[in-house]
Amino acid sequence: MTVQRQRIHLLLATTAAAFGFACGPVAAQGSYPNKTVLMIVPAAAGGTTDLAGRMAAQALAPVMGQSVVVENKGGGNGAIAANLVKRADADGYTLLMQYSGYHVISPHLTKAKSWEQSDFAPVANVLSAPQIIVVRAELPVKTMAELVAYAKAHPGKLNYASSGNGSLQHVTGAMLEQQAGVKMVHVPYKGTGPALQDLLGGQVDLTFGTAPPFMPHVQSGKLRVLAVTGKQRLPSLPNVPTTAEAGYPGVNATSWFAVFAPKATSQPVIDKLTADIKKVVEDPAFKKKAEEQGAAADYMNPQQLGAMVKTEYANWAQVVKSSKIEAE
């Protein structure tokens, strides 16, 4: 073989190898997903974060053509779940169903941070829901005015549950204390589920949270809803006033529940995930189920979700400061 032919053969071989290397990842991305997808929920079973994860997983499975398994990893104000997903392979097979309180409030209240928002790639928002103020049925109050009067007559006696220090429930309670001029005892739990159980058992007097986990107990008469912290009344609770209607417009808090992936996840995988979630969230059956639970199916694409995170992170920094909640 001549030197010229050797050079031609080498050039062709190098070009073929480079072409094959370039096509390899594309082919792999095109086959996503080809195995079970794991969705990590940063809370115990029973709360709205868990509901959002399970609703999304159940509806996503047939759309993606693969099983979507929910795994609850509560604790650490969401840090346990966040770190699991942060360290996971960035291949789209480990996702975080994040709760807004953990994502944009807890970071302001944690001295030793183990994760940053930049560790995650926004994928899609799934649900949004205002908080409700709910009390145990035995508590002798039926309105916000009566709750405030009771708190003033019994300073330091009322206690309220939250899903953890720095959670949206905690901040909502602090906002109410500040605006109503009352003092309550904060009792943090590792998620809404455990907090709900103690509320039903009478160990705590009230809590603040999204409606879904409380609705069955409200309907059975075991719990009583005093107000909705959003700007509008909930269709599932049409007779319950907003906090603004009850005289406390500053007690305004809405949660959102969104999917995030490890930051290095490729754009084709993010695009596939958000497109599939969009189909799910915009499905009429999904919307109806969310509304019946006191939430709203609320799709946002990665860009919209990322922008909301930045805005809310800045806004909640001011709320935390004015509410005088101290970092752990």
Would you write out the chain's pLDDT as a tens digit for each of its 328 residues?
444 444 444 444 444 444 343 343 433 445 899 999 999 999 988 888 999 999 999 999 999 999 999 999 998 889 999 999 999 999 999 999 999 989 999 898 888 889 999 999 999 999 999 999 999 999 999 999 999 999 999 988 999 999 877 788 888 999 899 889 999 999 998 788 899 999 999 999 999 998 989 999 999 999 999 999 988 899 889 999 999 999 999 898 889 999 999 999 999 999 999 999 999 999 999 999 999 888 899 999 999 999 999 999 998 888 888 777 776 5
Counts of helices then strands in the chain (DSSP H, E)? 11, 10
In this prediction, residue 229 carries a pLDDT of 93
Distance between CA atoms of 263 and 276, rounded to whole angstroms?
A: 19
CB 160 within 8 A of CB 187: yes
Task: Return the pLDDT at 231.
Answer: 85
* Phi and psi based region of residue 92 (left: phi greater than 0; alpha: psi -120 to 50; beta: remaining): left
Q: Are 41 and 70 in contact (CB under 8 A)?
A: yes
Per-residue confidence (pLDDT) for residue 230, from 0 to 100? 85
Q: Nearest-CA neighbor of 41 among 75, 6, 3? A: 75
pLDDT at 30: 56
Tell me what percent of the chain is helix, strand and coil, each rounded to the nearest 5: 45, 20, 35
pTM over the 0.95 mark: no
Is residue 96 within 8 Å of residue 40, measured between CB atoms?
A: yes
Residue with tokens 């994040």: 98
- Dihedral angle of Cα 191, 298, 227, 156, to the nearest 10 degrees: 30
Instruction: Return all residues near 194 (Cβ < 8 A) that are at least 6 apart.
Output: 44, 46
pLDDT at residue 253, rounded to an integer: 87
- Tell me how many degrees the CA angle 75-298-109 measures, rounded to the nearest 5: 30
Assigned token pair, 284: 């009429």
Please say whether the beta carbons of 176 and 134 come within 8 A.
no
* pLDDT given at position 259: 98
Instruction: Give phi and psi for 271, each to the nearest 5.
Output: -60, -40
For residue 139, the model assigns a pLDDT of 97
Distance CA 328, CA 112 (A): 9
Tokens of 133: 């103020």
CA distance 209 to 196: 10
- Which has the closest alpha carbon to 164: 23, 31, 47, 6? 47
